[in-house]
Amino acid sequence: MRLNWINENRILISSALLLGFLAIYFTASAGSKNGFDVSNASIPADEILAGGPPKDGIPALSNPILLDAADATNMQPNDRVLGIELDGIARAYPISILNWHEIVNDRINDQQYAITYCPLCGTGVAFYSDVAGKVTEFGVSGLLYNSDVLLYDRNTDSLWSQILGEAVAGKLLGEKLKPIPISHTTWHDWIAQHPDTKVLSTETGYSRDYDRNPYAGYERSRQLYFGVNNTAPDNYHPKEQVIGLEFNGVYKAYPFVELEKHGQSRFKDTVNGISVTIEWDSTNQSVILSDSNGVKIAGIQGFWFAWFAFYPDTLVFQAS
């Protein structure tokens, strides 16, 4: 896995030497595109970096095994999950599994979708899998842009930026993915809201230690393993959790530390003239965004540095 070998050798290598080695290694790897054609890339090709594993070296999951909540005895109340609800059917995908696979291709009734997670950016996003009129599955390319995972679709091998939700190279260049609202929350909170939920099983068909976090310590560190175009100002920790949204080219981020200081569990804000309701759950460190009609909005939750790397002109919510 991308950081697996780092953790296995952490005792032998100091963090300073390790970061220095990573900088040299991944700069040298910038010309390697894991077999993907990036000749028409809409982002600088030399900024598409090899993350370590080859194409499908981090195996995406398809046709996953799902358990009833009562049968998921491995789940602990504070385990983080990505939760999705379609047609009244709820499913949860533990971060402990997504750390090792990054993509789960799944379906509810006739709606096929992909749950995507980038451990380096802390970003979890769900997309419908209908692309350019055809249903596809997604895999992990092994490539990164702005430290964020680049997906690829298995119909055309086009590369897709998770945070941009757009094809950045290949046959489908410029096509957009349709996001689905999801919840980043605890297992306890999710099953309280959705007692009939199913949850992704650790029986994935792969031998992985899902009790171990291959990125342990990364979320607390100020260090990044890969460079980004725009360095976030240090008024927040680089890994501060934020939820960001966009309306017609205007971006706004809501840092959790500001939501905590704001002290209101539910309030309204306006972004580019559009009213948004923010529901902040301090206990479970989760946010729900909805429009003026109460319809949920798909935001992007992740680390502050990652949001700023893509959207340096972002507005930032600050507690009054």
The SS3 assignment for 123 reads strand
pLDDT along the chain (320 residues), means of 10: 47 37 40 83 95 95 97 96 97 98 97 98 97 94 97 97 97 97 98 97 96 96 94 96 96 98 94 96 97 95 98 95
pLDDT at 21: 39
- Cβ partners under 8 Å of residue 293, min gap 6: none
* Alpha-helical segments (H) within the chain: 4-8, 15-28, 95-101, 187-193, 256-262, 304-310
pTM: 0.89
Query: What pLDDT, in 10s, does the model give residues 89-123?
Result: 999 999 999 999 999 999 999 999 999 999 999 99
pLDDT at 4: 52
Residues 6+ apart with CB under 8 A from 49: 26, 29, 30, 143, 144, 145, 226
Q: How many other C-beta atoms lie within 10 A of the C-beta of residue 21?
A: 12
- Return phi, psi of residue 142, to 5°: 85, 5
Supply φ then ψ for residue 194, to 5 degrees: -135, 75
- State percent of the chain over pLDDT 90: 88
The pLDDT of residue 201 is 98
